Structure 1
Amino acid sequence: MSYDIRDLALAQRGHQRIQWASRHMPVLNQLKEEFATEQAFRGKRIAASLHITTETAVLLSALQAGGAEIALSASNPLSTKDDVCAALVEDGIHVYAQYGEDLPTYQCHIKQALAIDPHLVMDDGADLIIALHNSPAGGSVVAGIEETTSGVVRARALAADKLLRFPVIAVNDTPTKHYFDNRYGTGQNTIDGILRATNTFLAGATLVVAGYGWCGRGIAMRARGMGARVIVCEINAIRALEAVMDGLQVLSMAEAAPLGDIFVTATGMAGVIRPEHFLAMKDGALLANSGHFDVEIDVAGLRQIATGEQEVREHLSEYQLPNGRAVYLLAQGRLVGQVAAEASPAAVMDLSFADQALCTHYLLNAQHQLAPGVYDVPSDIDERVAQLKLQALDIKLDTLSPEQVAYQHSWQYGTEG
C-alpha cells in the first residue's frame, strides 16, 4: 500500500461515519453487490480526484468490490475528511490527501494518484484530466468521468481544441445528477455551510444568488424556505426570465451589491464579485461561493483593497475596507457547502454516485466504440438509477396499457377517433 494521509489512527471513526452514509445509499449498495458478483472491474486500475467524503467512500467501496485497484487524491484541499482517508487506506485504497494541504502538495498528490497508470480516471473539477494532458503519463487511460459543471467545461474546452485524448462522460449533465444533487443537494449544503460558519439568521435577510442554474435554483429555493428575500443576478436571459417567473427579483450585481446581506456565487465563472462590488456593500455583508473553484469571488482583489484582515470564526474571515465598512468571506472563497458543512447528504449523492459507478462499468466495456470527446450519460443508465431509487423508497409507478401504447404510437386517433 502507498499513501500520504494525516493519521491512520483516525480510521475507526472514519469507518463509523462511512457506515452511516452507506445506510442512506441503497442504490449504490445494490450496485456494489452486482459488481462483487460479476467482478466487473477485475484487473482494472482507477485513479480518482474527488471530494473525499463519507459518500465518496461508499462509491469507491462499490468499485473496489468489483475488483478495481483505486488511487485517490482530493479535488479540493478543504473538503477532505482525514478520518475517511484513513478508513479508505485501511480498506486497501491508495489515498494521497490531507485536509488543508497547500497547492504544491495538492498537485503532488494528483501525480501520485496517476502513478498507478490508470485505465480510467474519475474527476471532480478536471484537475486529474488536465494533469494527464500536461504530461506524457497516463498511457493506459482509455476513458474518464467528470462529475461537476466546472470540470465539464474544461473537458469540453480540451475537446474543442482537439486535445482530449479519450472519451469523457459528463455525469454532471445527466438528469439524475443535476436535477437532484445540484438543486437539492447543493441547495441544502450551501445554506448549511453558511449557517455553520456564521450562525446568521436567514429570515428577513436579503440573499443575493449569482447564477440561476440548477445549483442557484436550489440555493434560492432553500433560502426562501427559511424566510430570506432572494435577489438573482444572471447573464442568461432565459434563466433570468425563469427567476422572474419564480417570483424573484433580478438585478445586476452592481444594483444588488448595496442591497444584499448575504452573497452566494454559483456560476462556474471567474470574477463574479469584484472590488467595486465589495466597496458598495453593506457593513457586515457575507460572501460565500458555491462553485467548484475559488475564482468566483475575487479574493485577491479583496485582499488588495482591504486595510485589515482577521479570522473571526472557523471558516469566516473579516476584511476591513477603506470606506470603514467590513465584509466577511466564508471558507476562503472555496466551495462553502463542502468546506464549512458536510457536502450533499448521502441520500442524494446515492443518485450521482450510482451514475458514476454505472458509467465506469459502461466505459470499460464500450471504450473501443467511443472516439475522444465529451459524452452524455447513456439514457438507460439514467433511467435505471431513477428506477432503483424509487424502488428503494417503495414508490410504485403507473404503467401504460396496451391500448395506451397503441395510442402513443398512432397517427389515426384524434378529435373524431
Structure 2
Amino acid sequence: MIAGKVALILGYGDVGKGCAQALRGQGAIVLIAEIDPICALQAAMEGYRVVTLDDVAEQVDIVVTATGNYHVVTHEHMKRMRNQAILCNIGHFDSEIDVQSLKKYQWENIKPQVDHVIFPDGKRLILLAEGRLVNLGCATGHPSFVMSASFSNQILAQIELFKNAAQYGRDVYVLPKLLDEKVARLHLGRIGAKLTQLTREQADYLGVAIDGPYKPEQYRY
C-alpha cells in the first residue's frame, strides 16, 4: 500500500512531475529533490517539500530516481535507508542508483524484477528491476494510447520531410506546431473530448488561424 508512505522523487522534470502526481494520487507523502532552481520552485509551488536525499535518507519509504544522471543514490545513502525501503529508477540507465555497490551483499529474489538486497546487519532494501527502468521492467511500458501519439508524430514528421524536403537541411528540427496539434486533435475523440471552435472574430483578435497553430513555436506546455 502506497498511502501514507513517504516517497522521495529525485528529479522534477517531465518524468519526475508525472511520478509525483501518480504517487500523490495514491496518497503518498511526496518529497522532491532537485538541482535546478526553476524545477525546484515549480515543485514547491505545487505543494511538494523540496529536500535533499542527504537530509532525508533515513525517513523515506520509497525512492524514485528520474534524473538522467549518475549515482544520484549512492551506497552511503542506501546504508542509511530504513529497512524495507523501496528503490527504483525511471530515469535512464541502471547507474542512477549505485547498484554495482550492492553486488557484494546477499540478494534474495522475491518475484521477477523484485529483489531484496540484504545488508550485513540484516536490513533489507527492496530493489525493483535491478535499478533499470521500472516502467519497462515491472510494468508493460508505455500505454498503447501514448504509443499511438508517438507513432503518429513520427509518421507526420516523415510525411512533412517527404513533401517539403527542400525546406530542411541536415539538422534536428522540432515538429511544426501545427502537426503537433494535429496529433492531439486525432486522439481527442478516443477519450471523449470535444474542442471549442474559435470564431473568425476571436481568431483575428488573437492573431491566429481558426484551425491553428494556436501557440508560438517556443511555447512550452
C-alpha spacing 1:407/1:363, structure 2 compared with 1 (3 Å): closer
Query: Residue in 2 aligned with 1:202?
Result: 2
Match of 2:12 among 191, 207, 212: 212
Please give the root-mean-square deviation of Cα atoms over the aligned residues, in Å.
Answer: 1.9
Q: CA deviation at 1:204?
A: 0.9
Give deviations 1:9-57, integer Å, cap 9, x for gaps. xxxxxxxxxxxxxxxxxxxxxxxxxxxxxxxxxxxxxxxxxxxxxxxxx
Give deviations 1:229-259, integer Å, cap 9, x for gaps. 1111111111111111111111111112111
- 2:157 aligned with 1:348: no
| Counterpart AA for 1:247 | G
Query: Residue in 1 aligned with 2:175?
Result: 377
Query: Residue in 2 aligned with 1:228?
Result: 28
Helix, strand or coil: the match of 2:82?
Answer: coil
C-alpha spacing 1:385/1:274, structure 2 compared with 1 (3 Å): same
CA distance in 2 between partners of 1:399 and 1:302 (Å): 57
CA distance in 1 between partners of 2:56 and 2:171 (Å): 39
- Ranked by relative contact order (alpha carbons within 8 Å, sequence separation 6 or more), the top structure is 1
C-alpha spacing 1:370/1:262, structure 2 compared with 1 (3 Å): same
CA distance in 1 between partners of 2:175 and 2:112 (Å): 39
Q: CA deviation at 1:394?
A: 4.7
- 2:144 aligned with 1:339: no
- 2:128 aligned with 1:330: yes
* TM-score normalised by length of structure 2: 0.85
Match of 1:313 among 106, 111, 126: 111
* TM-score normalised by length of structure 1: 0.47
Helix, strand or coil: the match of 2:117?
Answer: strand
CA distance in 1 between partners of 2:26 and 2:136 (Å): 21
Matches within 5 A, 1:61-72: none
Contact 1:231 1:248 in 2 (8 A): yes
Match of 1:361 among 135, 139, 159: 159
Match of 1:239 among 39, 45, 65: 39
Identity %: 39
| Counterpart AA for 2:146 | V
Match of 1:253 among 31, 37, 53: 53
| Counterpart AA for 1:307 | Y
Query: Residue in 2 aligned with 1:287?
Result: 87
C-alpha spacing 1:363/1:276, structure 2 compared with 1 (3 Å): farther
Match of 1:297 among 71, 93, 97: 97
Helix, strand or coil: the match of 1:283?
Answer: coil
Helix, strand or coil: the match of 1:375?
Answer: coil
| Counterpart AA for 1:264 | V
Q: CA deviation at 1:307?
A: 3.1
Helix, strand or coil: the match of 1:373?
Answer: coil
Query: Residue in 2 aligned with 1:404?
Result: 202
Contact 1:274 1:302 in 2 (8 A): no
| Counterpart AA for 1:400 | L
- Unpaired segments ≥5 residues, structure 2: 208-221
Match of 1:277 among 77, 81, 97: 77
C-alpha spacing 1:223/1:393, structure 2 compared with 1 (3 Å): closer
Give deviations 1:367-397, integer Å, cap 9, x for gaps. 5543333321221210110111124445332
Query: Residue in 2 aligned with 1:113?
Result: none
| Counterpart AA for 2:137 | V
| Counterpart AA for 1:371 | G
Q: CA deviation at 1:337?
A: 0.9
CA distance in 1 between partners of 2:80 and 2:163 (Å): 55
Helix, strand or coil: the match of 2:3?
Answer: coil
CA distance in 2 between partners of 1:213 and 1:311 (Å): 32
